[in-house]
Structure 1
Amino acid sequence: MRAAFAVASLTAASLTLAACSSATSSDAGDGGNTVTIASWYEDQVIGTTIEAANDALAADDITLEYTQIPLDQYNTWLSTQLASGEGPDIIMDGASFPARVAAGNLVDISGDDVIAGFTKEGLALASDADGKVYGVPSYGWFSGIFYNKDLFEQAGAEVPSTFDEFLETADALTAAGIKPMTAGLADSDKAIHSLMGYLENAYYHNGEGSPEVDTEFAYGETTLDGNWNDAVSTWSKVIDHGVLTPEMLGTPLTQAVAEFSNGEAAMYISGPWDYQDIKDAGINFGMFSHVGNDPANQWLLGGPAASMGVNVDSERPEQALKALRALASPEAMQATVDANPGAFSYLEGVEGTFPAEYELITPLLSEGHVSVGWDRWGVNMPAQTMLDTLTKGLQSVVGGQESTDDLVKQLDAQADSIRY
């Protein structure tokens, strides 16, 4: 998952990346062999995965038909479809997959071989409190901070290993007349990644809290108010130091990507989904981790990108399960990580590739130092709703309309209204 924003459009055109087959979507109503799946992923992310799955399904005369739905509409589209007993045969979702499990939208696949070989961490978002499994992960995502090596050298700036050093680096870049960071806060999750990346490093793993705080919060056993306050207040120094600015609230994500790729800003928070476009731009870049208190114990933000399961209302459940097995095959999983340099798989035996630009973060990926709070929230609440609240709240904090304490209390209030 490209982090946590997933939403959809009823007018989106269907993108069929399938081998030739006698089956078509028109025969779906009378038991045809076309199995549908949708997500927000572009062709370059998932296209070869669909092709590999279709190669495996050809012997059964099954065609997997993929539809891309716009990222900013997917959650609404999928929720509407499922509420009416419809939707794609294979449900694909990210932070909201646990909500689909809780709503009874997915088939229990606990006893099927399709889950064999996946790690416990990979299956976590697709499992319920009783340990039943309803889906498998597509691949693992992570985010860190891309940086322009030439601009760092020009400013005499060092790659930071702590938050204090990060602020010093931003100041050095500003003093050299270089924009420290670009972030499309008008329509992206970059502020969330900035905050949660800091918390993962400075609070959950190297501070006053621990990951268990999030699970307790999800079940209503504790509040963020009284836990997060000091850490979020410290993080807000990125606003004081010009890393995130009110002007960025009017900047769309496309402009932010262009600014970094064109060498107009020194840093950009992102992950493997933007790697190739940045690489193609020809700049000299690398990536370092989100940072906190301990340079020897750094954590990237990330987790299962999206989980996939069979729609309980599918009119062709047997074919859908076969398609899910094909998508979960080593061949399809390998195709996914090959198409997303730096991505990793939760399926044993599938290895990703780590480009030279990932030199500083490769040890963290190898050690499994990839984690994110909203995955832990998902065990007992629709995490996407929390992320929507966090997005708006952070925009207000960056814009100076509310305090960090106000933001924390808003999250508590939202959680109280949406727990399962």
Structure 2
Amino acid sequence: MNRSRLILGAAVTAAALALTGCSGSGSGAEGASGGEGDTLKLWHFESDTSAMGIAWDEAIRVFEEETGATVEFEERSFEQIRSTASQVLNSDEAPDLLEYNKGNATAGLLSSQGLLTNLDDAVAEYGWDDKLAPSLQTTAKYDERGIMGSGSWFGVPNYGEFVEVYYNQDMFTEAGLEVPTTLDEFEDVLQAFTDKGVTPMAESAAEYPLGQLWYQLALTQADRGWVEDYQLYKNPVDWQGAEVSFATETVKEWTDKGYISPNATGSTAEDAGTAFINGTNPIFFSGSWWHNRFTTEATGFEWGTFLFPEAELAPGSAGNMWAVPENAANKELAYEFIDITMRPEIQNLIGNNGGVPVAADPADITDEKSSELIANFNELTEKDGIAFYPDWPTPTFYDELNAGLQELMNGTIAPEEFQEQVGEQYQSGVDDIVG
């Protein structure tokens, strides 16, 4: 076990203790359900330098101090949890609490299989619904089919996330370029860098970044009704319609023009992120989860962020959720830990370390870049601009969309063929869910 894991394990223990003290009177050990000899088994995939990792380390310290219980932490990657959750949670190896991805294809699927605990009573007891804006509650609730937006609570998010444009301010200044405010201006910026022999966009088609760019391009042509059709199955999605066609044709055009490297077909999200950190590419369209890492690692140049031009909607949601497996041995301890992570002092740690808190006081966010990040998120939530993610509708669509985009970039399928292929895959997955 490496040093960071040991530190994180101690932090998780503290967080569990803190949560126990929040049930009951709200502070101190009085009313806590934990005690010496009790153990909270916790999984999450945040690094110890991320905003959530930093905040949850403190939550662990508080939890252990207040409850006397111990946190047993196991480091699991996002992909490990995503690929094995249904098997592990259906066994006696299930943790008491884990960070889990939200959406129909993930938390919704597990809830419909009876693998997650219904949290309605805990939400009412702790008042978590009062701390979460309605748009952030969408991904915490699932009906009996596992479709988000209604039904019972099966998770509790304590941070938000969204996708925005990161840009290298030094490279923009050197090229005489300004932050674009329209899509035409954005394409002018891409062309200007290309003319200088610089591939403007750090990109990955092997993992999520290109799929999120494709979806963002569709959102520039979409409204809330289209999002609800795509995500909540309210009406059939036209896979040859204006929204999808614009996105597909633009990705193909940007690849052909050199705005996106064809090598992105084999690049991971990590490859794209480090290319931006290294100053190789001046633009990276990706999530707020990169923000703190860029703050600590992209130190060779000035960088900033802006929302995608001419888009009222953007990929994003409440963050990954705390979920309690149905087979958890210590559910009350899990609820206490969740509650500690919703405290203002823990929320402020998220906000001041590059995360997007859901229950912090804006006046307590003192970091300038963090304030910019949170302001962008608040702008989206205030105009109901959170549009979730492209792979959410079905359990297999993440891999299917990525594979289709790789073929599109390679030129092995035309845009219309791509849309027909992924449209059929999407509909097949939706039919399996809704019947």
TM over 0.5: yes
| Partner residue of 1:53 out of 56, 59, 62 | 59
User: Given that residues 326 and 332 in structure 1 are in contact (C-alpha distance below 8 angstroms), is that contact kept between their aligned partners in structure 2?
Assistant: yes
> Structure 1, residues 91-142: CA drift from partner, whole Å, max 9, x if none?
3212322222222222222233332422222221121235321221031012
With normalisation by structure 2, the TM-score equals: 0.78
Counting only pairs closer than 5 Å after superposition, residues 16-415 of structure 1 correspond to structure 2 as 16-18=9-11, 32-45=37-50, 46-54=52-60, 55-84=62-91, 86-95=93-102, 96-112=106-122, 113-114=125-126, 115=128, 116-129=130-143, 130-186=150-206, 188-204=207-223, 210-215=226-231, 218=233, 221-227=235-241, 228-236=243-251, 237-279=253-295, 280=297, 281-291=299-309, 294=310, 298-339=312-353, 341=354, 343-347=355-359, 349=361, 355-356=368-369, 362=375, 365-368=378-381, 370-374=385-389, 378=392, 381-382=393-394, 384-415=395-426
> Structure 1, residues 372-414: CA drift from partner, whole Å, max 9, x if none?
3438x85xx54x5222211111111112122233333333333
Determine helix, strand or coil for the equivalent of 1:18.
Answer: helix
2: distance between equivalents of 1:184 and 1:234?
A: 18
Deviation at 1:225, TM superposition (A): 1.8
User: Given that residues 109 and 134 in structure 1 are in contact (C-alpha distance below 8 angstroms), is that contact kept between their aligned partners in structure 2?
Assistant: yes
Seen in structure 2, the aligned counterparts of structure 1 residues 309 and 256 have a Cα distance that, compared at 3 Å, is closer
One-letter amino acid matched to 1:399? N
One-letter amino acid matched to 1:104? G
Determine helix, strand or coil for the equivalent of 1:396.
Answer: helix
> Structure 1, residues 328-375: CA drift from partner, whole Å, max 9, x if none?
333333333333x1x322336476566349759835633525423438
Seen in structure 2, the aligned counterparts of structure 1 residues 252 and 320 have a Cα distance that, compared at 3 Å, is closer
2: distance between equivalents of 1:183 and 1:161?
A: 21
Seen in structure 2, the aligned counterparts of structure 1 residues 391 and 367 have a Cα distance that, compared at 3 Å, is closer
Give the aligned length. Answer: 385
User: Given that residues 212 and 389 in structure 2 are in contact (C-alpha distance below 8 angstroms), is that contact kept between their aligned partners in structure 1?
Assistant: no
Gaps of 5+ in 1: 1-11, 24-30
Deviation at 1:171, TM superposition (A): 0.9
2: distance between equivalents of 1:235 and 1:352?
A: 38
One-letter amino acid matched to 2:161? W
User: Given that residues 34 and 63 in structure 1 are in contact (C-alpha distance below 8 angstroms), is that contact kept between their aligned partners in structure 2?
Assistant: yes
Determine helix, strand or coil for the equivalent of 1:211.
Answer: helix
One-letter amino acid matched to 1:270? S
1: distance between equivalents of 2:301 and 2:256?
A: 28
Seen in structure 2, the aligned counterparts of structure 1 residues 416 and 298 have a Cα distance that, compared at 3 Å, is closer
Deviation at 1:80, TM superposition (A): 2.2
Deviation at 1:61, TM superposition (A): 1.8
User: Given that residues 352 and 367 in structure 2 are in contact (C-alpha distance below 8 angstroms), is that contact kept between their aligned partners in structure 1?
Assistant: no
Gaps of 5+ in 2: 17-35, 144-149
> Structure 1, residues 258-294: CA drift from partner, whole Å, max 9, x if none?
3322322211123333334433423121112223xx3
User: Given that residues 193 and 199 in structure 2 are in contact (C-alpha distance below 8 angstroms), is that contact kept between their aligned partners in structure 1?
Assistant: yes
User: Given that residues 208 and 269 in structure 2 are in contact (C-alpha distance below 8 angstroms), is that contact kept between their aligned partners in structure 1?
Assistant: no
One-letter amino acid matched to 1:201? T
One-letter amino acid matched to 1:193? Q
* Match of residue 146 from structure 2: none
One-letter amino acid matched to 1:362? A
> Structure 1, residues 26-60: CA drift from partner, whole Å, max 9, x if none?
xxxxx952112212211122333333323145332
Q: Which 10-residue stretch deviates more, 350-359 or 330-339?
A: 350-359
* Match of residue 31 from structure 2: none
One-letter amino acid matched to 2:223? Y
1: distance between equivalents of 2:11 and 2:244?
A: 50
> Structure 1, residues 283-331: CA drift from partner, whole Å, max 9, x if none?
121112223xx3xx54443111201122111122222222222233333
2: distance between equivalents of 1:367 and 1:222?
A: 26
Q: Which 10-residue stretch deviates more, 355-364 or 74-83?
A: 355-364
Seen in structure 2, the aligned counterparts of structure 1 residues 78 and 59 have a Cα distance that, compared at 3 Å, is same
Seen in structure 2, the aligned counterparts of structure 1 residues 79 and 93 have a Cα distance that, compared at 3 Å, is same
> Structure 1, residues 130-185: CA drift from partner, whole Å, max 9, x if none?
53212210310122111112222333333222222222211111112222112233
2: distance between equivalents of 1:143 and 1:354?
A: 20
Deviation at 1:246, TM superposition (A): 1.5
Identical counterparts, % of pairs: 21
- Provide the alpha-carbon RMSD of the alignment: 3.1
* Match of residue 27 from structure 2: none
2: distance between equivalents of 1:314 and 1:359?
A: 39
* Match of residue 26 from structure 1: none
2: distance between equivalents of 1:360 and 1:325?
A: 24
Q: Normalized per residue, which structure has more helix?
A: 2
